[in-house]
Amino acid sequence: MSGALPLTPALSPQAGSKHSPRPALAGRGRNPRQREGEGSRSFVIAIDGPAASGKGTLACRLADRLGFAHLDTGALYRATAFLVLDPGGDPADPETAARAARRIDRQLLADPRLRGEVVAAAASTVAAIPAVRRALLELQRSFAAHPPAPAKGAILDGRDIGSVVCPAADVKLFVTASAEERARRRLEELRQRGATAIFEDVLQDLKERDARDTERRTAPLTAAPDAIVIDTTALDADAVFERAYNLIARALKEKEWKQ
């Protein structure tokens, strides 16, 4: 397999991530071992959970440690929303949104304008449109099955990875936290970026987004029945990482996966 992503031609491992300056579609190159050939398959880790639960930070750290490629799937929905909003379109319009989903490119995934709360809210609107999800599904599955070399595995974080995108993932985690704790974290993140925000507003936005994500008919936010739930409300990022890493290390060993 070559290093090129088997995605839409415009997407490549250079796209951006919200948690680090590194790509949302990133091949983490720490593990020098190349794929073993046509027969080798990718080890897939699915991480789902609500906004600000800590899943993105966790996914980045795991990708670094394991040398796996990481796809922040939320960035795909944010990019779709941005492409609709920018020219003044309606994120609830299925045709406009589906067209936008097919136009995402790697530069856009790295664009800091995707990180705003207006785009986040519109992302959860476009995410409820079946044609948008269809347009993004194959792209995500291709990334999981064929992560950019030299990665031997892929980590995807989102809302429906374990339930819909990669139902046969080797490890499924569902990372969650109380709405209040998630709002506190999001507020801190916003303030660090120099934005002014009020706790109650952030909490309200998160609750509305949770409701849209869990109540939609297509691929709602849910823990797959075989997902391991990690409640991060009372845990710091290091404790979450250790817990997840130990679970994954055990799964790698059970499957005799050589790192």
Under the binding rule (CB under 6 A), the answer on residue 205 touching ligand C5P is no
Q: What angle do CA 92, 93, 95 make, to 5 degrees?
A: 140
Under the binding rule (CB under 6 A), the answer on residue 182 touching ligand C5P is no
Under the binding rule (CB under 6 A), the answer on residue 160 touching ligand C5P is yes
Q: Could you say which residues in the range 211-230 bind ligand C5P, by CB under 6 A?
A: 213
Closest separation in Å from C-beta 256 to ligand C5P:
30
Pairwise CA distance, residues 126 & 114, whole Å = 14
Pairwise CA distance, residues 75 & 104, whole Å = 10
Considering the complex, state which of residue 35 and residue 99 has its C-beta at the smaller distance from ligand C5P: 99
Under the binding rule (CB under 6 A), the answer on residue 17 touching ligand C5P is no
Q: Interacting stretch for ligand C5P, rule CB under 6 A, among 69-77, 90-98, 102-110, 200-208?
A: 69-77
Considering the complex, state which of residue 40 and residue 214 has its C-beta at the smaller distance from ligand C5P: 214
Q: Which residues pair with 155 in a beta bridge?
A: 45, 70
Pairwise CA distance, residues 154 & 258, whole Å = 15
What is the radius of gyration, based on Cα positions, of the chain?
17
Count of residues that interact with ligand C5P, criterion CB under 6 A: 15
Closest CA to 244 of 14, 55, 17: 55
Q: Could you say which residues in the range 84-123 bind ligand C5P, by CB under 6 A?
A: 120, 123
Pairwise CA distance, residues 10 & 79, whole Å = 13
Residues near ligand C5P (CB under 6 A): 51, 73-74, 77-78, 120, 123-124, 127, 158-161, 209, 213
